[in-house]
Structure 1
C-alpha cells in the first residue's frame, strides 16, 4: 500500500555569543512499484490465457463441425450401400426365378440353379449387413449431434 509521512524539525543553538536557529519540514511518499509490476504481468498473463481459451474454443468448434460433416457423410454412404444391396436382392431374386423355371422346364442345369440360390442368399446377407451398418452410422451421427 502507498504511504505518506510528514515531519517537522527545529534546532536552536547558541554558540560563541551567536544564536543559531534552524528549522526544517520534510515529507516522504512511498509507492511500492513492485506490486504494480506484478499486477501488470498478471493482467498480461490473464489476457494471454483468455486468448488461448478463445483459440481452443474456435479449434473445438471447427473439429465438431468436421466431425458432424463426416458423420453425415458416413450415414449417406451407408444408406446408399443399403439401397444398392436392396437392388442386388431384386436382381438376384429375378435370376433365381428364371433359373428355377429353366431347371423345371429341363433346359437349365442344377449347378446354375444352385449358383443362383447362392447369389440370392449372399445378396440378402449383404443387405442385412448394409442395413445394420446404416443403423450403426445413424446412431453414431445422432450421438455426435446431441
Structure 2
C-alpha cells in the first residue's frame, strides 16, 4: 500500500538545519514534459519515462537514505507508480531491511506544493510565474 507525506512534513525536513538533503532525505521529481515552472530545491529529476532504467543507480546511491519522497505533478499516477517501482527494487536489493529507505509520495504533487509555497525560495527554486499562469486551481 502506498504511503503519502503531506507538504507540511516535507517543509519541516527541508527547514531542519540538522537534516542534509540526499543524506537524510531525498526528493525525486518524476515529471516528464510537464517539468517546468520550478522544482523543490536539492531534489533530483528522473522522468517517469526513464525511471525504470535509473532504478539500479537510485538503489546504489540512495537506497540507505532514511526517507525518499517521490512526486509528479499531482502524485496520482507517475509518482505512485515510480515510488512502487523503487520500493520493490529496494526490497529485491542487497540493502538490509533495517537500513532500507522508506519511500513515500508527496500528497498533491508539485501542483499543490507550488501553489502553497511559491513565494518561498527555500521551498520552490526557479519558480516561473508565467508558466503557472496557465493553470487554475
- TM-score, scaled relative to structure 1: 0.23
Structure showing the higher helix proportion among its residues:
1
Higher radius of gyration, 1 or 2 = 1
